[in-house]
């Protein structure tokens, strides 16, 4: 009891014999819970399959919301306005079940209260909107479950937590937005305590007053400025980008999200290219420079290859070898060798830089490589995983130099069937460095260096690819945008990158090596006692959830495309679907939606297979200069070649999770840099210039439009559609005019002009010039825009603010997959 009064305002009175219905979020108050400790249990909220289940969940929620006091059975019955004898017996029985399950505890005086430790779960805050957040629960594998498992938390109930924080949250059900009959109820909760702060530093633009300063965060998920005392301004000037160390976080018992901090780094004047790229790296917690001791350790590594280095290696320096890479690449981490055998077969060597020869366990280089876990590819620069001496020098397979490599060598028939395979350390000498464009010109013109070798490799690659698709691989071809920049980093042009045969040639042989290395390590397990599996680092890609597939299939059908999602036919049907949309205006958006429907690839020691590639086992072996998991794969392969026993599974699983997380952060930074340059490019356009585009997303606050010629995306806000009041039809990815019945649907062609660009937020607003909007034929599923608190953007992103409130959203999530395969197919499969 607080202030002598029970918290009776948490639930409204129910009609006799029925469970209570909670009041609206706007009128329901909650007391803030204090710090809670103890073991965390993860008994899931029961989905309501019957009236009794629903009543039990309401009882559980009542105790958890009012967890600061205890209630007698009579008080509970009175709260639920229960007078019917049979309902009283049911309530008594359900309270007994909750007591047996440990959700509530019977006190010595006979009253009941919520168990402080029951139904608490750990997760990470995703503060998608200034009004609410989602807590993403932890899982045993570290992989996010279905988004329906995320826990909705009002900003008022975050208890001082902010985006990225790890928290303990108490869960309960909320039926207010249950939707249609039979749909799942949303899981709602409130934060009990902050376990760990997700970030201690933030990046933003500083505004300085005579007595203090404020930093406006770059992060779209931090909704309050950071107060900086005058003595902690760190020499920053007004309107500069800075890195701030947070010294005070929002108070757990206050609704005001008040931060304080101190400036630790001045990045430069906001808007300058170098400043903004450094700001993006800092925003995502990615390093800008190598520590001095790491650089010094790299410089001490000898550059000369000694006889002892060659003693235990297969010498392949006399075999024809070359590299094919992007024209601006400097880290050549793979090469191909080709020679014809007397029996008519071909020996193809896939040679990978032997990074682990130079980066040794326990070294500063090893520690830094693990910490970074990946190179980061921004629009105008590469932030490497390894110092330049290694990434661009010792380990880079530059032409006309002897290099130490780790190789997969295959004897292939003319039909690309494997006859023999060999794995081990080698020495090679690259005869030629090709760019993708150079090699493609040779193939196109049938003239140039190593024409016969290139033609052979291309023919074999086609056969390998055909076999892969025959076995069920899915052909995801997502658009990658490229920029032409001037000497100051200003974008002069944006254009889609074209993947040609040479890109696919390299990709196919890298896939072959990655697949066979994984299978080879697994095959060596048979010599272990008790059948123990060899621990290996796998790249896994699990099958998509059936409900997400069916939702995507239903949506595609509404646009006139057929997609059969039955397990037996999924891959072939998906490939036919991809072929059917090729060249269509909506192709890019549908490809992105299809990718979002799939599970995310990640690293794991469990050999779960790769669904998209249709490989039973698959690893990452071919890019150790820029990916730490490849270094782990090299070490493990050599360990098993040396007859080593299975290594500690848990140690490597932890490293896999870390690598997956760092990859995600790097990918987000890459997308942020692309978005920034797209906005900068569009900000330089002639005023009122018209652009053809396609609707790429539909939300409660507007429609997103992607410009066809350059893939730049912006928002047409609902309040700017002044000809009617539009309703959001979430199920059908469209908005519909209330009076005119005009529809704007995902995939529709429109013409827009740039209304406003915001470089700080990396966002654009468009205004409609003309459209092909049609008339609605079925309004049965429409919902008024802005009504659902937990609306999420079609295609997987979450919605933001109400469409008619002018404040709008802080922007949609960056489009998945754009810029992902930056190395011509050697990316993140």
Q: What is the DSSP letter of 300?
A: T
- Mean of the pLDDT values across residues 624-629? 98
Round the average pLDDT of the chain to a whole number and report it.
83
Tell me the C-alpha distance between 284 and 510, whole Å: 29
Tokens for 711, please give them.
């893939």
| Res 119: pLDDT | 65
641-686 per-position pLDDT tens digit: 999 999 999 999 999 999 999 999 999 999 999 999 999 999 999 9
Residue-level pLDDT at 780? 37
Residues 522, 528, 533, 537, CA torsion sign: negative
Of the candidates 135, 131, 160, 154, the one whose C-alpha atom is nearest the C-alpha of residue 28 is 154
How far is Cα 458 from Cα 464, in angstroms, rounded to an integer?
10
| CA–CA gap between residue 57 and residue 174 (Å, rounded) | 9
Is residue 38 over pLDDT 90? no
- Check residue 803 and give its pLDDT: 35
Give tens-digit pLDDT for 579-600.
888 878 778 778 888 888 888 8
Q: Does residue 264 carry a pLDDT above 80?
A: yes
Cα(743)–Cα(440) distance, integer angstroms: 45
Element containing residue 463 per DSSP (H, E): helix 451-470
More confident residue, 20 or 240: 240
- The answer to whether the CB of 174 falls within 8 A of the CB of 141 is no
The residues with which 407 forms a beta bridge, in sequence order, are: 351, 424
Q: In this structure, what token pair is assigned to residue 120?
A: 């608490």
pLDDT value for 220: 85
What is the rounded CA–CA span in Å between residue 762 and residue 350? 41
List, for residues 444-499, the tens digit of each pLDDT value.
999 999 999 999 999 999 999 999 999 989 888 777 889 999 999 999 999 888 88
* Residue 561 reports pLDDT greater than 70: yes
pLDDT(826) > 80? no
Q: Which of 2-11, 96-105, 156-165 has the lowest mean pLDDT?
A: 2-11
Residue 120 pLDDT grade (very low, low, confident, very high; cuts 50, 70, 90): confident
User: Which region among 34-43, 168-177, 707-716 has the lowest average model confidence (pLDDT)?
Assistant: 34-43
pLDDT for residue 183 is more than 60: no
Q: How far is Cα 617 from Cα 523, in angstroms, rounded to an integer? A: 11
CB 288 within 8 A of CB 383: yes
* Among the listed residues 488, 436, 469, 673, the one whose alpha carbon sits nearest the alpha carbon of residue 574: 469
Report the distance separating Cα 65 and Cα 67, nearest Å.
6
Q: Whole-prediction pTM value?
A: 0.79
Give the whole-number percent of the chain exceeding pLDDT 90. Answer: 54
pLDDT reading at 703 higher than 70? yes
Highest mean pLDDT (candidates 134-143, 372-381, 764-773): 372-381
Q: What number of CA atoms fall less than 13 Å from residue 124's CA on the CB side?
A: 12
The DSSP bridge partners found for residue 350 are 336, 408
pLDDT at 37 over 90: no
Strands (E), 345-479: 346-353, 376-377, 382-383, 402-412, 418-429, 432-435
Percent with pLDDT over 70 in the chain:
83
Confidence of residue 144 (pLDDT cuts 50, 70, 90): low
Q: Does residue 129 surpass a pLDDT of 90?
A: no
């Amino acid at each position: 009891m607080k202030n002598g009064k029970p918290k009776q305002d948490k639930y409204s009175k129910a009609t006799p014999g029925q469970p209570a219905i909670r009041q609206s979020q706007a009128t329901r108050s909650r007391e803030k819970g204090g710090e809670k400790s103890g073991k965390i249990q993860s008994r899931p909220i029961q989905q309501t399959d019957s009236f009794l289940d629903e009543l039990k969940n309401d009882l559980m929620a009542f105790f958890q919301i009012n967890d600061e006091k205890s209630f007698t059975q009579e008080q509970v019955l009175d709260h639920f306005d229960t007078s019917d004898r049979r309902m009283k017996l049911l309530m008594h029985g359900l309270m007994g079940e909750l007591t047996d399950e440990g959700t509530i505890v019977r006190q010595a005086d006979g009253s009941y209260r919520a168990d402080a430790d029951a139904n608490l779960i750990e997760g990470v805050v995703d503060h998608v909107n200034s009004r609410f957040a989602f807590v993403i629960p932890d899982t045993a594998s570290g992989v996010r479950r279905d988004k329906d498992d995320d826990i909705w938390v009002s900003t008022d109930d975050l208890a001082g937590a902010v985006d990225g924080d790890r928290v303990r949250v108490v869960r309960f059900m909320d039926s207010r937005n249950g939707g249609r009959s039979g749909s799942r109820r949303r899981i709602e909760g409130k934060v009990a305590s902050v376990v760990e702060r997700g970030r201690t530093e933030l990046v933003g633009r500083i505004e300085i007053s005579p007595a203090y300063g404020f930093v406006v965060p770059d992060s779209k998920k931090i909704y309050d400025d950071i107060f900086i005392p005058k003595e902690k301004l760190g020499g920053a000037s007004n309107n500069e980008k800075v890195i701030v160390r947070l010294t005070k976080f929002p108070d757990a018992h206050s609704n005001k999200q008040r931060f304080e901090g101190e400036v630790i780094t001045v990045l430069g004047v906001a808007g300058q290219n170098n400043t903004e790229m450094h700001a993006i790296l800092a925003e995502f917690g990615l390093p800008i420079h190598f520590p001095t001791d790491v650089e010094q350790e790299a410089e001490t590594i000898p550059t000369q290859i000694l006889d002892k280095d060659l003693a235990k290696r297969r010498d392949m320096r006399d075999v024809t070898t070359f590299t094919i890479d992007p024209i601006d690449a400097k880290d050549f981490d793979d090469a191909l060798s080709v020679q014809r055998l007397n029996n008519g077969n071909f020996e193809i060597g896939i040679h990978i830089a032997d990074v682990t020869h130079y980066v040794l366990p326990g070294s500063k280089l090893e520690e830094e490589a693990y910490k970074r876990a990946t190179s980061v590819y921004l629009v105008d620069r590469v932030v490497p995983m390894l110092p330049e001496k290694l990434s661009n020098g010792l380990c880079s397979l530059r032409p006309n130099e002897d290099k130490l490599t780790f190789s997969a060598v295959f004897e292939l028939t003319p039909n690309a069937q494997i006859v023999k395979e060999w794995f081990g350390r080698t020495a090679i000498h690259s005869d030629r460095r090709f760019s993708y464009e150079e090699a493609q010109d040779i193939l196109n013109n049938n003239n140039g260096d190593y024409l016969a070798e290139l033609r052979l490799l291309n023919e074999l690659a086609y056969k390998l690819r055909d076999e892969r698709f025959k076995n069920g691989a899915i052909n995801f071809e997502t658009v990658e945008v490229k920029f032409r920049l001037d000497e100051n980093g200003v974008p002069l042009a944006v254009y889609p990158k074209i993947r040609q045969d040479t890109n696919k040639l390299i990709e196919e042989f890298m896939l072959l090596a990655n697949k066979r290395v994984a299978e080879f390590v697994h095959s060596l397990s048979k010599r272990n006692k008790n059948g123990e599996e060899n621990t290996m680092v796998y790249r896994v890609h699990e099958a998509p959830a059936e409900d997400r597939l069916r939702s995507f299939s239903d949506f595609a059908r509404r646009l006139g495309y057929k997609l059969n999602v039955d397990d037996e036919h999924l891959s072939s049907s998906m490939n036919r679907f991809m072929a059917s949309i090729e060249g269509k205006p909506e192709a890019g958006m549908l490809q992105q939606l299809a990718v979002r429907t799939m599970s995310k690839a990640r690293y794991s020691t469990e050999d779960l297979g790769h669904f998209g590639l249709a490989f039973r086992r698959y690893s990452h072996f071919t890019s150790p200069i820029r990916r730490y998991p490849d270094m782990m794969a090299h070490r493990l392969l050599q360990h098993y070649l040396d007859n080593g026993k299975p290594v500690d599974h848990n140690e490597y699983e932890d490293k896999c999770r870390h690598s997956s997380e760092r990859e995600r952060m790097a990918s987000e930074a890459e997308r942020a840099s692309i978005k920034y340059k797209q906005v900068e490019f569009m900000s330089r356009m002639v005023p009122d210039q018209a652009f053809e585009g396609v609707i790429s997303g539909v939300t409660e606050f507007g429609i997103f439009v992607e410009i066809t010629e350059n893939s730049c995306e912006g928002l047409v806000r609902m309040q700017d559609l002044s000809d009617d009041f539009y309703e959001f039809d979430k199920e059908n990815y469209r908005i519909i005019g209330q009076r005119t019945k005009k529809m704007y649907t995902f995939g529709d062609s429109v013409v827009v002009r740039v209304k406003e660009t915001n470089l700080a937020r990396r966002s654009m607003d468009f205004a409609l010039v003309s459209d092909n909007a049609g008339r609605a034929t079925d309004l049965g599923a429409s919902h008024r825009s802005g009504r659902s608190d937990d609306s999420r953007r079609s295609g997987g992103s979450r919605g933001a603010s109400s469409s008619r409130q002018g404040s709008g959203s802080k922007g949609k999530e960056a489009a998945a997959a754009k810029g992902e395969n930056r190395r011509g197919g050697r990316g993140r499969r």
